[in-house]
């Protein structure tokens, strides 16, 4: 069977599964809708959290990104996993004990202030919309590439599916579809990786394979370092970012991960405090399977690519090169007219002389990083069903994350804004209807952004992490670990953290305020890493302001003591 | 540590956190970033050690840390009668 038939079968079967689960797990109450009734087992919650967290970007783009960044790509690997340690140790158990539905709930109650609640809602909405636009785009891209339909049609099919299980099933529907989606996406990611690892190194574990020897008996990483140097790139295992910048980006991603509302809310769905701890462990274990394989794929794909194309006659290149040229992800331009492909670092000034000596006239091959995962099975000549599997896996990754984000948006609107601030006397049934309408509206808005993606999607992701790190994380941590922290301190901290991070990113990422040259970066920190600085500023401002103002009321201090002790967590409640 | 007060429970929790967060910082920020060049002089098979910590080792340690924390806290909960 050809690839297209296989893709239709696999994508059709997985979609039927998701819809079946949605019908089976309809939400009957707001508690079902917001936190899946609070009865999800730690294992299921771990699986769902892993699918929720791993987006189209983790599945499709991350290995490629690392492949082009080498050691510098470590910031994503450590940054997007280390945050779970913070979650498990510093946030999840206590928020579960607190036992409400959302992060703004906690901020609003702990800081006895609707202003704080509103600031938190705005942050939650901003972060979630930023993210969801990228996911819907991912759905469209996968559809167009694997099912040969227009991107727009793909986005609309994706919207219908998400609409079905997010609006109908709420958190309950989303949780159990995410469990299925994790299984699909991890299988789709691992099968090609294992095949390629066996082909290139004879080792069945990709995690070990990229540290072992290839066919010629040299270590794969040494070979790749050598290839890189021959072509004027920095050695793969060395990297070229400044150390302090790498430090800050890693910190911003870790802390941002721990502060993302769609991840935090998953820990409200388990029955007990100890389940919250345990499910964070499971979640990271399941995430780690993909995250430890990605750097191996990066090395395999990078080596394969360089060896296949560099200094080869264009006419003799394998078929997949032509296939991917048609999609525009790969492009070759014969600058020196010798009929051969030259792929090297033409930005490296020191390398110019060597290139000129060889008669090279600039880099001739442009490669989209996504190709490293998408084309990998073809490059390794794997069977058609494996290639089709990548499509189903990419869709599972994008849809599961989109659904989780849409739920945060609808909860923020229906619960935190409508129920808590505008119309507190709304009935349970009315609130459920409001939540469904909000979810439906959010699907439509997300779909719109998927079809008409703003140019700045990639840039705002930095903003989403920066904002989560600079606003939510310090406010929640101090809310648990400091009884003395009061509303003045927390609000002042969140607002300064937010403003300074927004300012920095607008200045250096969008070039809106004065010079955006990297030479002017404060302490050499890139906009991606600035969330870490924003967080420090938040902590300093909060502590200073709270020292100068009166301590929080007695009942709030008692509440803090209460959430530190796990017993009697009971069920999530609504008053 | 004889009296089973909430304060004593919290103190023990904080001391676990300090140790575990210390290891978390050590394997990622120290081994994977700050000392990466020094550690890269040591090799395990095809991996330079610093590079391995940054792209593999730190992640394994993160997973282990959470499960160790789960165990420690379950034991502590039982000891203090907070077991659910």
Nearest to B32 among A74, A278, A564 (CB): A74
| pLDDT above 90: percentage of residues in chain A | 33
- pLDDT of amino acid A155: 84
Q: Cα separation of A332 and B8, whole Å? A: 67
Residue A456 lies in a domain: yes
Is residue A302 exposed (0-12), middle (13-18) or buried (19+ Cβ within 10 Å)? buried
Contact assignment for B54 to A221 by CB distance below 8 Å: no
Question: Which of A277, A286, A299, A525 best probes binding to B when mutated, by most B CB atoms within 10 angstroms?
Answer: A277
A430 occurs within a structural domain: yes
pLDDT band at A141 (very low <50, low <70, confident <90, very high): confident
Question: Torsion angle, CA of A267/A269/A270/A272, rounded to 10 degrees?
Answer: 80
Whether B62 and A566 lie within 8 Å, measured CB to CB: no
Domain assignment present for A243: yes
DSSP strand pairing (A365-367 vs A330-332): antiparallel
Bridge partners of A366? Answer: A331
Euclidean distance between the first and the last CA atom of chain A, given in angstroms as a whole number: 57
Query: Is A246's Cβ below 8 Å from some Cβ in B?
Result: yes
Compute the nearest-CA separation of A93 from chain B (Å). 10
CATH of the domain at A220: 1.20.1730.10
pLDDT value, residue A572: 46
- As for how many domains chain A has, the answer is 1
**Range name among A125-134, A256-265, A425-434, B57-66 with the lowest pLDDT average:** A125-134
Distance of residue B51 Cα from the nearest chain A Cα, in angstroms: 6
Q: Where are the alpha helices (DSSP H) in A310-427?
A: 319-326, 352-357, 371-374, 376-379, 384-411
- Residue A189 pLDDT > 60, yes or no? yes
Asked, for residue A438, whether it belongs to a domain, the answer is yes
Chain A residues lying within 8 Å of B84, measured CB to CB: 272-274, 566-569
The kind and range of the H/E element at B44 are strand B43-44
Q: Are A231 and A374 in contact (CB under 8 A)?
A: no
For A19-35, the pLDDT digits (tens) are: 888 888 877 788 888 88
Which residues partner with A340 through β-bridges?
A313
* CB contact at 8 A, A29 and A37: yes
Inside any domain, residue A320:
no
Element housing A167 (H / E): none
Q: Do A292 and B56 touch (CB under 8 A)?
A: yes
CA distance A67 to A191: 19
Residues of A with CB below 8 A from B28's CB?
Answer: 78, 82, 250
| B63/A284 touch (CB, cutoff 8 Å), yes or no | yes
- Domain membership flag for residue A373: no
The DSSP bridge pattern shows strands B47-48 and B43-44 to be antiparallel
Task: Please tell me the predicted confidence (pLDDT) of residue A568.
Answer: 63
Q: Do the Cβ atoms of A31 and A432 come closer than 8 Å?
A: no
Range of the domain at A288: 3-304+378-563
């Amino acid at each position: 069977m050809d690839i297209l038939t296989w893709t239709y079968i696999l994508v059709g079967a997985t979609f039927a599964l998701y819809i079946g689960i949605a019908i089976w797990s309809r939400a009957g109450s707001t508690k079902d809708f917001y936190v899946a009734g609070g009865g999800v087992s730690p294992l299921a919650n771990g699986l769902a959290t892993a699918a929720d967290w791993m987006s189209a970007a983790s599945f499709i783009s991350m290995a490629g990104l690392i492949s082009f960044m080498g050691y510098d790509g470590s910031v994503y690997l450590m940054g997007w996993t280390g945050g779970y340690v913070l979650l498990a140790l510093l946030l999840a158990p206590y928020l579960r004990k607190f036992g409400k539905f959302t992060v703004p709930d906690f901020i609003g109650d702990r800081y006895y202030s609707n202003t704080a609640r509103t600031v938190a809602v705005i942050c939650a909405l901003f972060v979630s919309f930023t993210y969801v636009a990228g996911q819907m785009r991912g759905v469209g891209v996968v559809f167009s590439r694997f099912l040969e339909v227009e991107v727009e049609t793909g986005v609309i099919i994706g919207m219908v599916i998400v609409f079905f299980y997010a609006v109908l099933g709420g958190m309950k529907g989303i949780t159990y579809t995410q469990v299925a989606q994790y299984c699909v996406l991890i299988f789709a990611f691992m099968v090609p990786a294992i095949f390629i690892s066996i082909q290139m190194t004879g080792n069945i574990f990709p995690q070990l394979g990229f540290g072992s020897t290839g066919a010629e008996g040299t270590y794969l990483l040494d070979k790749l370092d050598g290839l890189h140097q021959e072509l004027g790139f920095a050695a793969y295992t060395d990297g070229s970012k400044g150390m302090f910048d790498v430090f800050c980006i890693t910190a911003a991603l870790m802390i941002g991960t721990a502060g993302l509302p769609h991840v935090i809310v998953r820990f409200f769905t388990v029955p007990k405090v100890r389940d919250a701890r345990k499910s964070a462990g499971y979640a990271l274990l399941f995430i780690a399977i993909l995250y430890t394989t990605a750097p191996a794929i990066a090395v395999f794909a990078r080596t394969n690519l360089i060896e296949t194309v560099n200094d080869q006659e264009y006419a003799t290149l394998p078929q997949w090169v032509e296939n991917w040229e048609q999609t525009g992800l790969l492009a070759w331009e014969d600058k020196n007219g010798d009929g051969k492909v030259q792929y090297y670092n033409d930005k490296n000034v020191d390398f110019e002389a060597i290139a000129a000596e060889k008669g090279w006239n600039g880099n001739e091959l442009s490669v989209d990083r996504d190709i490293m995962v998408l084309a990998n099975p073809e490059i390794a000549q794997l069977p058609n069903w494996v290639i089709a599997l990548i499509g189903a896996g990419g869709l599972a990754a994008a849809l599961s994350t989109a659904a989780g984000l849409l739920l945060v948006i609808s909860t923020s609107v229906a619960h935190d804004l409508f129920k808590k601030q505008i119309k507190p006397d709304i009935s349970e049934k009315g609130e459920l209807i409001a939540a469904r309408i909000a979810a439906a509206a959010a699907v439509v808005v997300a779909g719109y952004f998927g079809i008409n993606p703003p140019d700045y999607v990639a840039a705002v992701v930095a903003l989403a992490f920066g904002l989560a790190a600079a606003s939510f994380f310090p406010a929640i941590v101090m809310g648990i670990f400091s009884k003395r922290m009061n509303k003045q301190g927390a609000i002042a901290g969140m607002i300064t953290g937010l403003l300074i991070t927004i300012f920095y990113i607008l200045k250096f990422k969008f070039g809106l305020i004065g010079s955006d040259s990297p030479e002017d970066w404060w302490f050499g920190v890139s906009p991606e890493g600035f969330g870490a600085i924003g967080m420090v500023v938040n902590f300093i401002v909060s502590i200073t302001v709270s020292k100068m103002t009166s301590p929080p009321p007695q009942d709030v201090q008692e509440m803090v003591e209460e959430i530190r002790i796990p017993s009697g967590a009971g069920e999530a409640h609504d008053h | 540590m004889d009296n089973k007060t909430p304060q004593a429970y919290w103190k023990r929790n904080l001391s676990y956190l300090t140790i575990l967060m210390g290891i978390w910082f050590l394997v990622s920020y120290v081994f994977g970033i700050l000392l990466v060049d020094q550690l890269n002089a040591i090799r395990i098979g095809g991996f330079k050690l610093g590079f391995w910590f940054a792209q593999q080792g730190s992640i394994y340690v993160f997973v282990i840390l959470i499960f160790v924390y789960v165990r420690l806290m379950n034991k502590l909960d039982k000891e203090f009668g907070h077991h659910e």
